[in-house]
Structure 1
């Protein structure tokens, strides 16, 4: 794109999504606060502004949702939808789920996660090629979330497909939003009822029994509808993002064979490779917020009631924060990126995503030290919230 043309970014434009980074770079330099007239939203793209915005929840509110189309739809959000709440109610609901995602609990899942990875890869023995997304990357998070929630393995694929379909959009089109579509809790109703009669060591049982003090000071257990909401949020949040991370790990290591060779020779770099991949190609490029009060930035007033897009993918490459930020470097020293957010809405499942990514990469490298991507037949997913591979055909040695 010629630098004589005006800066333009559109989250619904699939052509832009192929490689949005040159536009992000121009936004940081030329228009760090930018307004999209066509879709009526504002954008921040610099590291300092994103960091400040993510923690300033009284100004940049989550109460209308973290997705542009959801904010614009102005629908009533069911209580317990953590991603769509502000403190203090958010903190009460978050504490309940934080019990499930303790470091000890997450680490205890490692043998099961490794078993899922091995079983998936066993099926690919002898193959000279396969679609990474369909046959590996989408499978592992589905199994892990299913295990956490207590969903029988035979039903996990249907659950994932229904959860993912709510985020999927037609190329160039916006997500169709309604309260019913957003919180499709009917999917889990039978499981909740069954678990009430057959308790187990899983998240549903834990939520059924959890006591907490609500916003009215009443100590109680969760209602059935509240449990359904929690479970629906977790099922949607845990599947797609981790699958996209696994896809980017394999795609980037194919694109940068020198980095792959370094990693194969120095397997201790796997955890840092996860962090650099999360920085360099975050699964979600922008977090939307509702502007709850007038704010002035760069000499412009953003009025209360506006929608603001916080471009985390731009912040993660900001040259003011990262030396050679546009370079993929698995040896880079990374103390903090914003892929998992920051502050009160920092991703509860971040530790789980990291451990899934690490184990998936370790097992994949053990099985396939060399692979190529058929880029001509690869396709990025069509969602306005995520950027990752829908299909990633590989040929393996």
Structure 2
């Protein structure tokens, strides 16, 4: 461990002990080192809501074009066109407008009965079983099926695709992600795009194949196969792992707060607010990285051009300056709006879908299992530096 900040606070996104419970470290960062520098991995970090919010809405200073993960920025890998979350204007503006045109609220809303039916098929056989696993039975299943339906990936192949996408986000304990794994996983979708080109349907893959748009040069054209491949891989990766984590934290946090869980079981109208509070309290992704495109002053110090900056969303979401008593979980919290889905031009296009899936899953669970407790001996946190959540979360039910 290398302590490089004068206060003695240490934060390392790859440190297993820190990731097991990062919130005490976040609090110290907010109070003692709101601008932090880690010499070992050569990055800066900001922990307060105000600083994270300001940085995420300043793409001219904090650029996304070199990647949104520390590993990608440090590796200097070339990001393929169409990787929306890792782009800057003007190309980002073109690509976001295009994807927004196919990833419509109507398409998302139309998935609700299908998601609900799948939840029912998954949960009904578990009634009277004595227990189930929030990850194995729901978290690893619902997002996979939903993204598969949205993209147009055949159901028989959805599990294999999910596992390959998940593998790219897994890391060895205490180690960064290998950037080459992230870039390589896109190729797995190539055969589906070719198949869908010959077998069009009502899905995003078909929409992308037929879409016409004006690119950054003013040329009216269709997407290339390589661009479609990138779009599809971004949607699949972003939608699978993070929603899986939301479902896992739903099980853990509500087990830790049984009184509030019982309120939700008795009044389903509280569930949308509960999902927002879960997203604030335990966000699936705790940090996002940016490349510092020009010298900038933060908290009275100059962060030089060429640096990597981590915006600690997991810390900002619990900043008492924004959320009174931020370490307290409260489904009645007012004025929530966490930074979980980002801010500004990179606000997550899949936010509505994640909220929809989280709401439906919780509604369907509470209909059948208003009471549960976690089997702590079988619960296991995932080993990954990119998202934080559970690999397994078995619970006992009455």
**TM-score interval, smaller chain:** over 0.9
Aligned-residue RMSD, C-alpha: 1.3
| Cα separation, 1, equivalents of 2:372 and 2:223 | 48
Identify which of 91, 95, 98 aligns with 2:97. 95
SS in 1 for 2:314: helix
Find the counterpart in structure 2 of residue 108 from structure 1: 110
Q: Where in structure 2 are the equivalents of 1:247-266 lying within 5 Å?
A: 247-266=248-267
Alpha-carbon displacement from aligned partner over 1:194-239 (angstroms, at most 9, x marks no partner) = 1111110011110000000001110000001111110011111100
Maintained 8 Å contact 1:183/1:232: no
What is the rounded CA distance, in whole Å, between the counterparts of 1:189 and 1:121 in structure 2? 34
SS at match of 1:338: coil
**Superposed counterparts of 1:79-90, under 5 Å:** 79-90=81-92
- Whole-Å Cα distance in 1 between the matches of residues 389 and 335 of structure 2? 22
Task: List per-residue Cα deviations over 1:225-259 (Å, max 9, x = no partner).
Answer: 11111001111110000111011111100001111
Aligned residues: 393
Indicate the larger mover: 70-79 or 115-124.
Answer: 115-124
**Other-structure match for 1:324:** 325
Unaligned runs of 5+ in 1: none
In structure 2, the residue corresponding to 1:116 is in which secondary structure? Answer: helix
- 1:125 is displaced (CA, Å) by 3.3
| TM-aligned CA deviation for residue 120 of structure 1 | 1.4
Name which of 116, 129, 132 aligns with 2:131. 129
Query: In the alignment, what sits opposite 2:170?
Result: 168
Q: Distance in 2 between matches of 1:326 and 1:158?
A: 37
SS of residue paired to 2:37: strand
Provide the residue aligned with 2:74 in structure 1.
72
Partner of 1:18: 20
CA contact (8 A) 1:117 1:360 kept: yes
Which residue number corresponds to residue 3 of structure 2? none
Is this contact kept in 2: 1:370–1:396, CA < 8 A?
A: yes
Equivalent pair of 1:288/1:307 in contact (CA under 8 Å): yes
* Cα distance between partner residues in 2 of 1:175 and 1:72: 11
Misfit runs of 4+, over 6 Å: none
| Equivalent residue number for residue 305 of structure 1 | 306
Whole-angstrom CA distance in 2 between matches of 1:369 and 1:258: 11
Cα gap change, 1:335/1:254 in structure 2, threshold over 3 Å: closer, same or farther? closer
Q: Distance in 2 between the 1:256 and 1:369 partners? A: 12
Per-residue CA distance 1:109-136 (angstroms, 9 max, x = gap): 1111111111111342332122210111
SS class of match (2:259):
helix
- Whole-angstrom CA distance in 2 between matches of 1:364 and 1:63: 40
Report the 3-state secondary structure (helix = DSSP H, G, I; strand = E; otherwise coil) of the residue aligned with 2:56: helix
1:346 counterpart residue number: 347
Aligned to 1:7: 9
CA distance in 1: counterparts of 2:218 and 2:226, whole angstroms: 20
Structure 2: give runs of 5+ residues left out of the alignment: 1-5
Mapped contact 2:169–2:182 kept (Cα < 8 A): no
1:59–1:291 Cα contact (<8 Å) kept: yes
Q: Secondary structure at the match of 1:171?
A: coil
After superposition, the C-alpha distances for 1:121-161 in whole angstroms (9 at most, x for unaligned) are 13423321222101111100000000011111110000000
| Residue matched to 2:222 | 221
Distance apart, 1:183 and its partner CA = 4.3
